[in-house]
Structure 1
């Protein structure tokens, strides 16, 4: 769940020019270390109000020792030297939502992921309560301008999902003993881990139906199956695999594809442009006989 006040950073809406850069760096360091103001204050021994003033730019000339303790507690380094001899340093990634403010004009916590709320589905508190089933005039509370996840486990999982979506690569596999009429696509992580796979094959409609009719394609694709590792499902990898197949088969002059699906597979194919055909057989399963007890 989210909370719009308990974790809000104690900062003013505007920065003083002299302390703006230092404040942004500290907020970026806190985000990288995933620390709230309270947590960084406890680690560094610097009072939280002092940290809040530095981050907001209100502390125009903070003591060097104070800044050093904060930076080191957040996992950063402080370097002093002549400009020509100063070692090259990499600044932490800026806080992406640093320009956003809550209804009281305060910044949102730097270490959390903040997103704008446009409808109930964007706000976990309303989503779990199924507000989206109500008309706007019946919402129990007004929607906040933004939301964030306080629970560390949920937040880490959200960032992990975003990283998988960003880095996973989908490609067509070729070579080996794979026949020319068999198509295989794989989804891989940067380290080469296989997390998804799609298999399909070409067929001739003329051979299937035994006769030719006007408009019959010369070739069509049959989707044999799409499989995504359990941990990586619901991240869009299945849709990327199907989309890759459609893109390449159309580039090869194949515009028609057939598939049999069940469960979530039906939703996946419908989202990728497939349509349900009533004349097609349903998915069937043969299970072993049930054992009788008694």
Structure 2
């Protein structure tokens, strides 16, 4: 009888459990409570220190994390399938934990269900309470910076994950049609379901209409009318993507804009500079007929 060899499709049980916990957004303690298993047992399995955990224990943990158990029996040498009958390798049940190779100062893994990021400066660390008010050299930091950090607040975590998903999935397209003149541009930022979360509008303006010095092709200008992004999706780079898409569509045409704070910092981030040679803008406001004047 030929000697059977172990299956090459082995499973790292600890890695699998950490993946399932991350997908279910459960800590070790929460998973242990759901499965009715002591939390130290979960820690030993994930760290690889449980050499031979009981099948029933593993099944309870996997089911509590939303997974399913399946047992495959390796065929004998005489029953080996042909190449055409060879089953495909099973797909990974969940995405890997993105920070699984990171360790804290004690060499321990960070919690699998949390979002962990590296700390390079005080503003990267929520525990750096002094970072917003003081500019201190590293030797005067009240606390040493950790190599990485995370937040325990579940609401903050969910919001952060949603925003990152939006950043990856949002698309920008140009809107054309009878409602948009040939000398105007409209770009929108949308989610996969078609939800509108941002918009940019601009129009072409020829300088000779303002200054009366004759029209030349190189004097064409585009005026940025406005960029709007839903408040919950701001600071994700969506506005800058809208502006960049406009600039790529215009090519060598100059683009100008008038704005107030906080639009100034936004336009600076998009590569706009202040042009001091242009006359200062004046603001006119017409009073509403019949409105009462406010007295201070």
Q: Per the shorter chain, which TM-score range? A: 0.7 to 0.9
| Cα contact 2:205–2:222 (8 A) shared by 1 | yes
The SS at the match of 2:18 is helix
1:250-269 superposed matches below 5 A: 250=251, 253-254=252-253, 256-269=254-267
- Quote the Cα distance in structure 2 between the aligned partners of 1:187 and 1:283: 32
Change over 3 Å in CA distance of 1:60–1:224 after alignment to 2: same
Q: Report the counterpart of residue 210 of structure 2 in structure 1.
A: 208
CA contact (8 A) 2:123 2:131 kept: no
Q: How many pairs align?
A: 273
Structure 1 gaps, min length 5: 1-18
Which position in structure 2 is the counterpart of 1:244?
Answer: 245
Unmatched 5+ stretches in structure 2: 1-9, 75-85
Q: How large is the Cα RMSD of the aligned pairs?
A: 2.6
Query: C-alpha separation between the residues in 2 aligned to 1:67 and 1:285?
Result: 72
Rounded to whole Å, the distance in 1 between the matches of 2:90 and 2:210 is: 67
What TM-score results when the alignment is normalised by the length of structure 1? Answer: 0.85
Higher relative contact order (CA 8 A, sep 6+): 1
SS in 1 for 2:198: strand
What does the per-residue CA deviation read over 1:48-82, in whole Å, with 9 as the maximum and x for residues that have no partner? 11111110111121111100000010111111234
How far is 1:291 from its partner? 3.8
Kindly indicate whether the alpha-carbon contact (under 8 Å) linking 2:122 and 2:131 is maintained by their aligned counterparts in 1.
no
Q: Choose 201-210 or 142-151, whichever is displaced more.
A: 201-210
Q: Specify the SS of the correspondent of 2:218.
A: coil
Structure-2 separation of matches of 1:98 and 1:28: 10
Tell me which of 25, 39, 42 is aligned to 2:33.
42
User: Residue 60 of structure 2 corresponds to which residue in structure 1?
Assistant: 69
CA distance in structure 1 between the partners assigned to 2:136 and 2:89 by the alignment: 58
* Structure 1 position 88, deviation (Å): 5.4
Q: How does 1:167-178 map to 2 (within 5 A)?
A: 167-178=169-180
CA distance 1:280–1:72, shift in 2 (3 Å)? farther
Q: Which residue of 1 aligns with 2:269?
A: 271
Contact residue 188 and residue 196 of structure 1 kept, 8 A:
yes
The whole-number CA distance in structure 2 between the counterparts of 1:39 and 1:131 is: 37
TM-score by length of 2: 0.84
